Amino acid sequence: MPFNTRLTRALGIQIPIVQGGMQWVGYAELASAVSNAGGLGIVTALTQPSPEDLRKEIRRCKNMTSRPFGVNITILPAMVPPDYRAYAQVVIEEGVRVVETAGNNPEQIITQLKDAGVIILHKCTSIRHAQRAARLGADFLSIDGFECAGHVGETDITNLILLSRARQSLTTPFIASGGFADGHGLAAALVLGAEGINMGTRFLCTVESPIHANIKEEIVKAQETDTVLVLRRWRNTMRLFKNKVTREALEIEKSTSSSDDFGEIAPYVSGKRGREVFRLGDPDYGVWTAGQVLGLIRDIPTCSGLCTRIEKEAEITLAQTTALIVRQAHL
Give CA separation, 170 vs 100, 126, 138, in Å.
19, 12, 12
328 located within any domain:
no
Looking at the fold, whether 23 and 168 belong to one and the same domain comes out as: yes
Looking at the fold, whether 169 and 77 belong to one and the same domain comes out as: yes
| Number of domains composing the chain | 2
Say what the pLDDT of residue 66 is: 98
Nearest CA to 6 out of 184, 135, 134, 172 is that of 172
Looking at the fold, whether 58 and 98 belong to one and the same domain comes out as: yes
327 located within any domain:
no
Looking at the fold, whether 119 and 246 belong to one and the same domain comes out as: no
Looking at the fold, whether 231 and 130 belong to one and the same domain comes out as: no
Looking at the fold, whether 190 and 98 belong to one and the same domain comes out as: yes
Say what the pLDDT of residue 260 is: 72
The number of residues in the chain equals 331
Say what the pLDDT of residue 76 is: 87
The CATH number for 71's domain is 3.20.20.70
Looking at the fold, whether 184 and 265 belong to one and the same domain comes out as: no
Looking at the fold, whether 23 and 157 belong to one and the same domain comes out as: yes
Task: Render each residue's pLDDT in the chain as its tens digit; 331 residues.
Answer: 679 999 999 999 999 999 999 999 999 999 999 999 999 999 999 999 999 999 999 999 999 999 999 999 999 888 789 999 999 999 999 999 999 999 988 999 999 999 999 999 999 999 999 999 999 999 999 999 999 999 999 999 999 999 999 999 999 999 999 999 999 999 999 999 999 999 999 999 999 999 999 999 999 999 999 999 999 999 999 999 999 999 999 999 988 666 677 888 988 998 889 999 999 999 999 999 999 999 999 999 999 999 999 999 999 999 999 999 988 766 5
220 located within any domain:
no
Domain that holds residue 261: 227-280
Looking at the fold, whether 120 and 241 belong to one and the same domain comes out as: no
Q: Report the C-alpha gap between 279 and 257 in whole angstroms.
A: 35
Give CA separation, 168 vs 112, 123, 163, 309, in Å.
30, 18, 9, 30
Looking at the fold, whether 103 and 237 belong to one and the same domain comes out as: no
Nearest CA to 87 out of 30, 123, 116, 48 is that of 48
162 located within any domain:
yes
39 located within any domain:
yes
Looking at the fold, whether 185 and 241 belong to one and the same domain comes out as: no
